């Protein structure tokens, strides 16, 4: 989508108080005691909110996703440091901000160095060793490792559970370059995070409602470009005076702005091909690649993430994050 018709308006729903359902509060208590299944449920609940924060700090870049992934790994490993379950969300946000600022700082200073990765892995490693004897952690780690390929598992086992912890040692033992060790450990961390998503209580009312919203937006975004009725349904789902924040930081007001944006995208043969939708309470995050026509290849940026904020089942605020065109 392009940025059009912008005016200045007040903003934003991200600063409002987070209403946490009682079921999620109960799972938070269980998660802090080492219940991996409960942690998976709260991962589902908080992920869209943390991602929305990360997008505001990092933009629509891989850094935003990386920061959220590292936040949940850190939270699971360091959960014993949190004494008050009621402070869980503010605690998560602090961890997220630290990861965002660290990643942004390293990117601006020329990238994350080999020493930075070593230092971060040592922190994770020490925490795993401190908690590994706890049954819940032990069971979760072994279950998670079983989801890794042999190549990834070998790197993780050497890195965290042997005396041969350095990248150089692992590279020598496995007969692979140090860069390959680094990339495999990175892929393993991403896979371990994805294991959280498998622990999801489908019977939980809050999570079930979140899935319903995600399914609804999958239907809307999947059909709005070809179906006038669906497009009108989507527009009617928006509050007439909704607030819109664009990638540039400029602000717009009114659902007619997005209605015109849809019409323009259709006219130029562009559309957002959604590949992921996550929802939590009154927030949904929709992300995907933009497909442009051969006649107008530069109409839309490579990808877009849209954060939708609802009130009484109407979209009242939308944040649009386009990726860089370069």
Taking only the tens place, the pLDDT of each residue in 45-68 is: 899 999 999 999 999 988 898 888
Mean pLDDT of 83-91: 85
Q: Which residues contact 116 (CB under 8 A, 6 or more apart)?
A: 106
For 162, left (φ over 0), alpha (ψ -120 to 50), or beta?
beta
Helices 205-223 and 22-32, packing angle to 10 deg? 110
Q: What is the pLDDT of residue 193?
A: 67
Percent of the chain past pLDDT 70, that is, above it, reads 78
User: What is the per-residue pLDDT across 111-157, written as a single tens digit (0 to 9) for each?
Assistant: 444 455 445 544 444 444 444 334 344 455 566 677 788 888 888 77
CA dist., res. 199 & res. 210, Å (int): 15
- pLDDT over 60 (residue 6): no
Spell out the CATH class of 205-322.
Answer: alpha beta
Integer angstrom CA distances of residue 51 from 104, 280, 285, 289: 15, 11, 8, 17
Q: Shortest CA distance to 226 belongs to which of 171, 177, 272?
A: 272
Mean pLDDT of 81-93: 86
- pLDDT over 60 (residue 7): no
* pTM across the whole model: 0.73
User: What is the per-residue pLDDT across 203-221, written as a single tens digit (0 to 9) for each?
Assistant: 578 888 998 999 999 999 9
H or E element, residue 291? strand 283-291
Q: What is the pLDDT of residue 189?
A: 73
Q: Shortest CA distance to 159 belongs to which of 145, 146, 169?
A: 169
Q: What is the pLDDT of residue 303?
A: 96
H or E element, residue 94? helix 88-108
Q: 23-38 b/e with 16+ CB inside 10 Å = b?
A: bbeebbebbbebbbbb
The SS3 call for residue 306 is strand
Q: What are the boundaries of each domain within the chain?
A: 20-196, 205-322
């Amino acid at each position: 989508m392009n940025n059009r018709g912008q005016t200045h308006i007040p903003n934003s729903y991200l600063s409002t108080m987070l209403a946490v359902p009682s079921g999620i509060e109960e799972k938070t208590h269980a998660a802090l005691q080492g219940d991996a299944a409960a942690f998976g449920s709260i991962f589902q609940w908080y992920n869209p909110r943390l991602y929305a924060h990360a997008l505001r700090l990092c933009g629509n870049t891989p850094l935003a996703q990386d920061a959220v992934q590292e936040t949940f790994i850190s939270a699971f490993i360091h959960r014993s440091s949190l004494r008050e379950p009621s402070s869980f969300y503010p605690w998560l946000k602090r961890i997220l901000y630290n990861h965002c600022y660290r990643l942004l700082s390293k990117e601006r200073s020329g990238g994350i160095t080999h020493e930075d990765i070593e230092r971060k892995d040592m922190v994770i490693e020490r925490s795993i060793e401190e908690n590994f004897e706890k049954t819940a952690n032990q069971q979760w780690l072994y279950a998670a490792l079983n989801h890794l390929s042999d190549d990834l598992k070998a790197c993780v086992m050497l890195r965290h559970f042997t005396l041969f912890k350095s990248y150089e040692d692992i590279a020598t033992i496995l007969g692979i370059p140090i860069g390959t060790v680094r990339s495999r450990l990175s892929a393993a961390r991403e896979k371990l995070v994805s294991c959280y998503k498998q622990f999801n209580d489908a019977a939980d009312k809050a999570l079930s409602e979140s899935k319903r919203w995600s399914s609804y937006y999958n239907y809307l975004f999947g059909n709005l470009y070809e179906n006038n009725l669906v497009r009108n349904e989507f527009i009617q789902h928006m509050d007439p005076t909704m607030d819109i924040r664009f990638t540039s930081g400029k602000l717009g007001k009114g659902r007619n702005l997005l209605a015109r944006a849809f019409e323009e995208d259709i006219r130029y043969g562009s559309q957002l091909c959604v590949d992921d939708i996550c929802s939590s309470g009154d927030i949904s995050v929709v992300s995907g690649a933009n497909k442009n026509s051969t006649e107008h290849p530069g109409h839309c940026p490579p990808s877009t993430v849209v954060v939708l904020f609802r009130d009484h089942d109407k979209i009242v605020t939308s944040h649009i994050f386009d990726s860089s065109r370069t």
